[in-house]
Amino acid sequence: MDGMALKFPSFKFLNHNTSTIRSPLLLRKFSSSSLPVSASGTTLREAGPASNSVSLGQLTRPDFPILHQKINNGSNLVYLDNAATSQKPISVLKALQDYYESYNSNVHRGIHYLSAKATEKYELAREKIAAFINAEESREIVFTRNATEAINLVAYTWGFANLKSGDEVLLTIAEHHSAIVPWQFVAQKTGAVLKFVNLNEDEVPDVLKLKEMISSKTKLVVVHHISNTLASSLPIEDIVHWAHAVEAKVLVDACQSIPHMPVDVRDLDADFLVASSHKMCGPTGVGFLYGKSDILSTMPPFLGGGEMISDVFLDHSTYAEPPSRFEAGTPAIGEAIGLGAAIDYLQGIGMQKIHEYEMELANYLYENLSTVPNIRIYGPKPSKGVDRAALCSFNVKNIHPTDLATCLDQLHGVAIRSGHHCAQPLHRYLGINASARASLHFYNTKEDVDYFIHALNDTVSFLDSSK
């Protein structure tokens, strides 16, 4: 394959921060070792299950059309970027198509058949979400564009109404930018103080230090459930207990937990929880905020317009009860209905079954990735008492993660993430500018991991030889 011409797309994002991310290596040639083969002579990508049992990944893959395609140089797609967004099953695609083909109409505003059906399906999706996370009632679910908007909603309503100079908001340095930046806005305008918890020696946010930092000044704790970079989990029930002891509220970023494990908001007892549809096998453009009903009822509106009002006069307006108070304008109707279909799909499998399968995949990924020479995997090591989520952020010595990701995609058809994963403070704490990340979902298989490890070793060897 010497002299092979490689066509690289113009990834503008690769150079979005030239002070920290350099351009991918310009490849002049590529010599790939042969793909590993089974006893039958088929490649790993073609090989069947390693045992007689059929895995959850193998059972569900037929439901995801996007996974069955060839990309770039004829490589079969191996999608390992699920922490960024998940793929969508046929049932979700059909739900979207059915809405737009059969009953496309606005909700809550018409008495005709189409509007009545759209409203019924839209509100049914809200009820499905409430049941999925075991909320006490569906009015505790507010539809938003995504989890980012949900956090901003809490910041601009509850935050501005309740925080004052000297009040403290506790976070960890492993939070997503969407969980940090809105509270910076609030702090700048109210005089509230943001305090951050660092990592402990196991590269997990130090929850004992967080417990020590909670005081009478603490008014809000903002924490992730599962880290999108470290693959670690936090004991939300304990954190909520400590916070509530000083009458502080807790907001949980559940974007990386809700798609992968059972989440019960009544057990967690958090005051707010946010998630995004697109990570839950649902459409983009919709997410939700869960808030305890007694708290939501005290919060002022987020946006002004139709649907969120009770009465409008020329000099003032009165507002609807939650959740309508926070859902101004025409919502993402089809997308919400699609999210409802995604929840039906996930519940059809069973979230505990998904969780158990992904824990098996998580250990398999970590163990095999650890064999790659000169690799550094971030986050805790899996052990009897430590479960990692099914993702690994990593770096290989003297190789930029963007070069790794580009070569894996262009030469092997493996899709992973590179960059700071919207967690720059965490990366700075770790002493790095960026990392590569492979993240799995229930439709992935051990064969996907095997192929990824082979492709990564091959890529590392090539990049080392090209220096």
What pLDDT, in 10s, does the model give residues 43-65? 333 333 334 589 999 999 999 99
Distance CA 443, CA 55 (A): 9
Give the CA distances from residue 166 to residues 187, 192, 341, in Å, rounded to whole numbers and listed in that order. Answer: 10, 5, 45
Q: Kindly report whether the peptide bond that precedes residue 382 is cis, defined as omega within 30 degrees of 0.
A: no
pLDDT of residue 385: 79
Cα dihedral across residues 424, 276, 395, 70: positive or negative: negative
| Token couple for 142 | 């507010």
Nearest to 113 by CA among 101, 124, 103: 103
Distance CA 400, CA 111 (A): 58
284: Cβ–Cβ under 8 A, 6 or more apart, which residues?
A: 85, 146, 277, 278, 335
Distance CA 276, CA 282 (A): 9
Greatest C-alpha distance within the chain: 79
Residue 2, pLDDT above cutoff 90: no
- Give the pTM: 0.88
Distance CA 336, CA 99 (A): 11
Secondary structure of residue 334 in the 3-state scheme? helix
% of residues, the chain, pLDDT over 70: 89
Catalytic residues: 422
Which helix (H) or strand (E) is 351 found in, with range?
Answer: helix 351-369
Mean of the pLDDT values across residues 253-266? Answer: 98
Alpha carbon distance, N-terminus to C-terminus of the chain: 19
Secondary structure of residue 81 in the 3-state scheme? strand
pLDDT of residue 465: 86
368 burial type by CB count under 10 A (0-12 exposed, 13-18 middle, 19+ buried)? middle
pLDDT of residue 21: 33
| pLDDT tens by residue, 137-171 | 999 999 999 999 999 999 999 999 999 999 999 99
Distance CA 250, CA 271 (A): 5
pLDDT of residue 51: 44
Structure-model confidence comparison of residues 317 and 179, the more confident one? 179
Distance CA 36, CA 44 (A): 6
Query: Hey, which residues does 250 pair with through a beta bridge?
Result: 221
pLDDT of residue 52: 56
Mean pLDDT taken over the chain? 89
Residue 128, pLDDT above cutoff 80: yes
Which helix (H) or strand (E) is 462 found in, with range?
Answer: helix 446-465
The secondary structure of residue 159, as a DSSP letter, is I
pLDDT of residue 460: 97
Distance CA 349, CA 440 (A): 17
| pLDDT tens by residue, 370-385 | 999 999 999 999 887 7
pLDDT of residue 321: 84
| pLDDT tens by residue, 82-95 | 999 999 999 999 99
Residue 17, pLDDT above cutoff 60: no
> How many contiguous H segments (helices) and E segments (strands) does the chain have?
15, 17
